[in-house]
Amino acid sequence: MRLSVLSERSGISTATIKYYLREGLLPPGRPVNATTAEYDEGHLRRLRLVRALIQVGGVPVATAREVLGYVDDDSLDHRARLGGAMWALPQDTGPAGPDEEDPAAASARAEVDRLLELLGWECARGSAAVSPAHRSLVAAVAALRRLEYPWDAERMAPYAELMREVARRDLDFMETYGSVAERTEVAVAAAVLFPPALLALHRLAQQEETSRRYGTG
């Protein structure tokens, strides 16, 4: 397809597509002549991913380029490509992040580590020292403990098990795609787009359960 058709099918302007091409976010099309190139379904799929990263997820262009570098790196195995792409995405470490000097943060870190041991999550325990997700959880638990909510490993464990089931379903969905590159693209898009959907579902579920327990009105 020509650039104009790619623009029409993707809903992204030709000027923006040309910008993505210059920034290395979209691979070049097949040259037809000195001024024209042909694009295929892979370009359309990549454009949708770039839009999810930049326009929906607010990921900076440089970060998006790094993430896509892992997606396209055929020298890496499946786990390395997926892990690298996930690691390169911006991570939310909470409003202020865990304060290393704060006793609540130290207590929260110990409780999170106890949770991971209780669950037997060896990979998560092994990467805890450098994991943005670990820091984010510590910051959240520390905030709860400052408010004197008893959020300990035993209380977190059922939630963690539910999230492990969500992770299983994420990977089941990803594995419906054929190539490693496609699977990694899907995982990256899901990492950006699924959290808002899961948060909305959580709130709807809370609304429904509140109504069931306490009535409406």
Cβ-based neighbour number of residue 209 at 10 Å = 10
- Average pLDDT over the chain reads 88
pLDDT at 98: 53
Q: How many residues are listed for the chain in this entry?
A: 217
Cβ within 8 Å of residue 81, ≥6 positions away: 70, 71, 73, 180, 181, 184
Per-residue pLDDT, 216:
67
What's the average model confidence in pLDDT over 196-208? Answer: 93
Check residue 44 and give its pLDDT: 92
Q: Is pLDDT of 208 > 80? A: yes
Backbone angles phi, psi at 120, to 5 degrees: 75, 30
Write the single-letter amino acid at 157.
A
Which pair of structure tokens corresponds to residue 152?
């300990």
Residues 188/71, Cβ–Cβ less than 8 Å: yes
Q: What is the DSSP letter of 57?
A: T
| CB count in 10 Å sphere of residue 69 | 14
Beta carbons of 38 and 4 less than 8 angstroms apart = no
- Of 195, 11, 16, nearest to 89 by C-alpha is 195
Please give the structure tokens belonging to residue 157. 């464990």
**Residue 118 CA from chain centroid, whole number:** 25
Written as six digits, the tokens of 156 are: 């977190």
Please say if the pLDDT value at position 97 is more than 60.
no
- pLDDT per residue over 126-174, tens digit each? 887 778 888 889 989 999 988 989 889 999 999 999 999 999 999 999 8
Residue 22: pLDDT above 90?
yes
Domains and CATH numbers, the chain: 3-75 (1.10.1660.10)
Residue type, 189: A
Looking at per-residue confidence, does 83 or 160 come out higher? 160
The pLDDT of 101-113, averaged and rounded, is: 87
Q: Measure the CA–CA gap between 194 and 182, rounded to whole angstroms.
A: 17
Among 140, 73, 148, 77, which Cα is nearest to 112's?
A: 140
Q: pLDDT band for 93, please (50, 70, 90 cuts).
A: very low
Residue 100's pLDDT band (cuts 50, 70, 90): low
Provide mean pLDDT across the span 12-27: 92
For the chain, give the percent of residues with pLDDT over 90: 47
